[in-house]
């Protein structure tokens, strides 16, 4: 299948490589010259522009940081035309960015008028899941379009869930990431308390992992350096899922909660704590670095 892939960040680059290795014909692009150079060296064909990737493509996949980037890509900005004016009718668009559900619906509605099918398919699983091809996709849009996308999604993920109409995938994702932000803070608080009392973080992590406090952070993504070799915490919080990206997602959850008048007090507190952590200079570090905000000095 001929695929255009736009967005080669920590997640998108690995996802594109998996499609390339699976035998699909890819053309990829990112505004970062360094990202393009990096993945070109790994054998990924790189186009000169986002517009150049969609020429002849049957499927267009975007993996971008925020709503503004997705809006700019598909609708254009200033005198620059958006991709919706260049993508042929009949093409399937898969947007795996985590953005506002309203933006996903806006893109889907505009695309439908041009005969272009769109699904929102944000992911969970982190960079490890992107590399391993074991991501979870949360899909919004028409079920028939999901079935068209399934052979492509299956090369990048192990779990595919249909959440509902356009924007439903985004709603599921912000609910998931709100919970993730909350549980990472809770896990960090517990570990920091234990260490402040002289406990070995490895021992405490294993106790909690096998007890009622067990959760995904303790299983896969421990926030304490040296406890889990594969976690960003053991790599000086490099790579992974950035604090500023978590802050963005928590912001989306709170905007949505306000719109539907849902009560999310812990989500709001988590958002404020991540904002403080970002302002302290940790925005580019992995979101598990929030433990630094909770540790006693010298810990």
Radius of gyration of the chain (CA): 20
Judged by DSSP in three states, 112 sits in: helix
Name the token pair of 139.
Answer: 């899909």
Cα within 13 Å of Cα(48), Cβ side: 2
Name the token pair of 94.
Answer: 């898969």
Strands of the chain (E only): list them.
Answer: 2-6, 25-29, 59-62, 76-77, 80-81, 92-95, 117-120, 123-124, 135-140, 157-164
Decide: 71 and 104 in contact? Cβ < 8 Å: no
Decide: 182 and 286 in contact? Cβ < 8 Å: no
The question of whether 173 is a catalytic residue gets the answer: yes
Judged by DSSP in three states, 160 sits in: strand
Q: What does the alpha-carbon distance between residue 3 and residue 131 come to, in Å, rounded to a whole number?
A: 18
Q: What does the alpha-carbon distance between residue 136 and residue 156 come to, in Å, rounded to a whole number?
A: 9
Q: Comparing C-alpha atoms, which of 142, 156, 138, 26 is closest to residue 92?
A: 142
Catalytic member of 38, 106, 173, 292: 173
Residue 135 makes CB contacts below 8 A (sequence gap 6+) with 15, 123, 124, 125, 129, 156, 157, 158, 159
Q: What does the alpha-carbon distance between residue 234 and residue 223 come to, in Å, rounded to a whole number?
A: 8
User: Catalytic positions, please?
Assistant: 173
């Amino acid at each position: 299948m001929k695929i255009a892939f736009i967005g080669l960040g920590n997640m998108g680059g690995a996802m594109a490589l998996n499609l390339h290795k699976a035998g699909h014909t890819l053309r990829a692009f990112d505004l970062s010259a360094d990202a393009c150079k990096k993945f070109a060296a790994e054998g990924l064909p790189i186009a000169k522009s986002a517009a150049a990737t969609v020429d002849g493509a049957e499927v267009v996949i975007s993996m971008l940081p925020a709503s503004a980037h997705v809006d700019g890509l598909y609708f254009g900005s200033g005198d620059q035309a958006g991709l919706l004016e260049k993508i042929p009718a009949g093409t399937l668009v898969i947007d795996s960015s985590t953005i506002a559900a309203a933006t996903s619906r806006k893109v889907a509605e505009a695309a439908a008028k041009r005969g272009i099918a769109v699904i929102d398919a944000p992911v969970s699983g982190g960079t490890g899941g992107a590399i391993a091809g074991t991501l979870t996709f949360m899909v919004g849009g028409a079920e028939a379009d999901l079935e068209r996308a399934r052979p492509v999604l299956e090369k990048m993920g192990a779990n595919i869930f249909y959440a509902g109409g356009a924007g439903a995938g985004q709603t599921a994702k912000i609910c998931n990431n709100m919970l993730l932000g909350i549980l990472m803070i809770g896990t960090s608080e517990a570990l920091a308390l234990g260490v402040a009392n002289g406990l070995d973080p490895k021992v405490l992590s294993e106790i909690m992992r096998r007890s009622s406090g067990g959760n995904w952070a303790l299983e896969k993504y421990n926030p304490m350096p040296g406890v889990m070799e594969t976690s960003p915490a053991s790599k000086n919080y490099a790579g992974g899922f950035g604090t500023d990206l978590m802050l963005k997602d928590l912001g989306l959850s709170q905007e949505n909660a306000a719109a539907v008048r849902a009560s999310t007090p812990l989500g709001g507190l988590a958002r404020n704590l991540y904002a403080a952590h970002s302002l302290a200079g940790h925005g580019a570090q992995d979101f598990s670095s929030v433990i630094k905000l909770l540790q006693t000095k010298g810990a």
